A and B are shown apart, each in its own frame.
Chain A
Amino acid sequence: AQKITQTQPGMFVQEKEAVTLDCTYDTSDQSYGLFWYKQPSSGEMIFLIYQGSYDEQNATEGRYSLNFQKARKSANLVISASQLGDSAMYFCAMRSPNAGGTSYGKLTFGQGTILTVHP
């Protein structure tokens, strides 16, 4: 079974500062994918960044980077130069291998971290 753990229920950061959101995972699969999603109060899940288990370099997408430490089973999200619009719930998720001919495996989510950016 797969498990995602996010130990920070809430985080605060000053505008323009960097912040790290923690994520650890557990899986017996050799091939897996790790994701970070942002969920504003509207409810929509917004994709931020993806890291494949065989990717040797850490993923980056604009102000987002993923600090992937495979041996420690951690996949922390780093947001640089925080903006007020970054205030939201953030979820770490893991994708299982595809099953039953489907084009995409199921996602297992952590409990989330509420990020508040102060001006």
Chain B
Amino acid sequence: DAGVTQSPTHLIKTRGQQVTLRCSPKSGHDTVSWYQQALGQGPQFIFQYYEEEERQRGNFPDRFSGHQFPNYSSELNVNALWLGDSALYLCASSSYTGELFFGEGSRLTVL
């Protein structure tokens, strides 16, 4: 049984561009959360999706948006990229059994 899978693992963008990151949750998990982890820092909560709706949001601007599909997979979109968006983006999936699993992350570099 695959765990949480994220793609791409690494990518490089330039300022002003847009990026889409993808996450497939662990089988049986219905809630997907996204976190941003800058170098040398702890992860920060971006938002959480359940039943295809954004349920909670952290302190991130509207440039950060997301989507959850009927199969529970999720996308994170970031528009108008700037240098400060360079980070490891972690996806975590969870279920009512109390499990929470993280993917290995997508490392974004903005030049």
Footprint of B on A, CB under 8 Å?
Answer: 4, 42-45, 47, 91, 93, 99-104, 106-112
Contact = CB atoms under 8 A, between A and B. Distances in A.
A43 B107 contact: yes
B33 A106 contact: yes
Interface of B: 29-31, 33, 35, 40-45, 48, 50-51, 53, 55-56, 58, 88, 90, 92, 94-96, 98, 100, 102-105, 107
5 contacts: A91-B43, A102-B56, A103-B95, A106-B56, A109-B35
A102 B45 contact: no
Given A45-B90, A112-B42, A103 B31 contact: yes
B104 A43 contact: yes
B88 A43 contact: yes
Contacts of B107: 43
B105 A44 contact: yes
A47 B104 contact: no
A102 B55 contact: yes
Given A44-B104, A104-B94, 11 more contacts: A44-B103, A45-B43, A45-B90, A99-B55, A99-B56, A104-B100, A106-B48, A107-B35, A107-B45, A107-B92, A111-B41
Nearest to A37: B102
A29 to B, nearest CB: 14
B55 A107 contact: no
A100 B30 CA distance: 13
